[in-house]
Amino acid sequence: MKQIAVVQFYFYPDISAVSQLLGDLLCTLAEDGEYNITVYCATSDYAGVLNQRDNRFNKLNIVRIKTPNIGKKYFINRIIGYSGFYMSIFLKIFLGRRWHAVVSMSSPPLIAFPVSLALLFRKIPFIYYIEDLFPEILFDMNYLKRPWLIRKLQTLNKIVMRRAESIVTIEEDMSRKVITNYPKARGKTVDIPNWSHDVVFLPASERKDFTILYSGNMGLAHDFSLLEPLIKELLPVKNISYQFIGQGTRVEEIRSIFLKSGEKRVEFRGYTSRDAHGTTLAQAYLFVISQKKETVGDLLPSKLYSYLAAGRPMLFLGPRSSEIGRIILDNDFGVVVENTIDISTAKRYISFLKKNRFIAGRINERIHRYSSIHFGLKKSVGYFKQIIEETLRKTG
């Protein structure tokens, strides 16, 4: 049995998207008994709501490293929370067992750097799996505003890219940006798309209201600058309601947008459980997804996969040229609002869906079918297993 170590800050039973996706991936990978997988993660949790500390998850071994859970609002809080994790991971990988391979995820920022250093003299294959591209995303979200600091952090990342035998990203834009910023990544970077494992396609409900739903994180990487004019344009439209489900740094900003617009047909709720997620999505007729233009290639909102699996059209607040924009426009899966000119188009599209429920149902089925073909868990696991085996063969 091949011994594989995986490093990721948040993990089961945490509810963050990456921890859930990684759990899906690793549990499926471990099913046939070919790999014995140990996950090194923190005791912190993304939403601050969990206290379960199991050290087993299906066939996975979990080693939890104690970290202070002092919040994420301020940068210094994050640094304090991460610093002990960096040092502990370095020691555990450097002094630990002889792994067949070590996989480092990209959270927390640059955790792959101490992992790569710990493996420098151990001749253990190292795979870098990027869900969010750090440090670029910190600058592009305007979280860090000093270009010189980003360049210094990129120097550390260059070492990671050079040391990694294989580099996994989640989409073409990210692979392109990785190779552009880090030429040493060329020839060993491959993209494996994410998936939705928790959403079953359900027919649209018979609710009178046409529900427009946003589900997930509402943070700095998401662009809500066109939300206010869009809401104002839709004010006269009858039988519309909005739901915003999740948390994030921009929740209060979104609340104030609705308040200023005079739109009262809105409900805000915190994160739902994974079991209830699919049923919640089935109540909607149209999904909202957003991405700040500058972050294209840094991340891809994971709600895209849930939305596609749920089989509903999308209203995208973001750039046409992004992965999300291309999927929507190339397949006629919704409408893209990149500037104020697009708002009237969005209104016409919503009116069309409201008046043509039968056609909307056919669109729903087509979207779900596309998801099943292109974004399946088993397919992505197969790709990742192939990368592991090729990496082991290359390193002998």
Where are the chain's structural domains?
2-193+377-395, 210-374
Give yes or no for residue 274 having a pLDDT over 80: no
Fold of 2-193+377-395: Rossmann fold (3.40.50)
Say which amino acid occupies 76. I
Q: Residue 149: its pLDDT value, please?
A: 86
Which tens digits make up the pLDDT trace of 336-393? Answer: 999 999 999 999 999 999 999 889 999 999 999 999 999 999 999 999 999 999 999 8
State the Rg of the chain over Cα. 21
Which tens digits make up the pLDDT trace of 243-267? Answer: 999 999 999 999 999 999 999 999 9
Fold matches, 2-193+377-395 and 210-374: yes
Give yes or no for residue 223 having a pLDDT over 80: yes
How far apart CA 157 and CA 170 sit, in angstroms, is 18
Residue range 316-321: average pLDDT?
Answer: 97
pTM of the model: 0.91
Residue 12 pLDDT grade (very low, low, confident, very high; cuts 50, 70, 90): confident
Which tens digits make up the pLDDT trace of 52-86? Answer: 456 767 789 999 998 766 555 555 566 666 888 99
Give yes or no for residue 239 having a pLDDT over 50: yes
Reduce the secondary structure of 164-224 to three states and give it as a string. Answer: CCEEEECCHHHHHHHHHHCHHHCCCEEECCCCCCCCCCCCCCCCCCEEEEEECCCCCCCCC
- Name the CATH superfamily housing domain 210-374: Glycogen Phosphorylase B; (3.40.50.2000)
Q: Which two tokens stand for residue 356?
A: 């043509």
Q: Residue 47: its pLDDT value, please?
A: 46
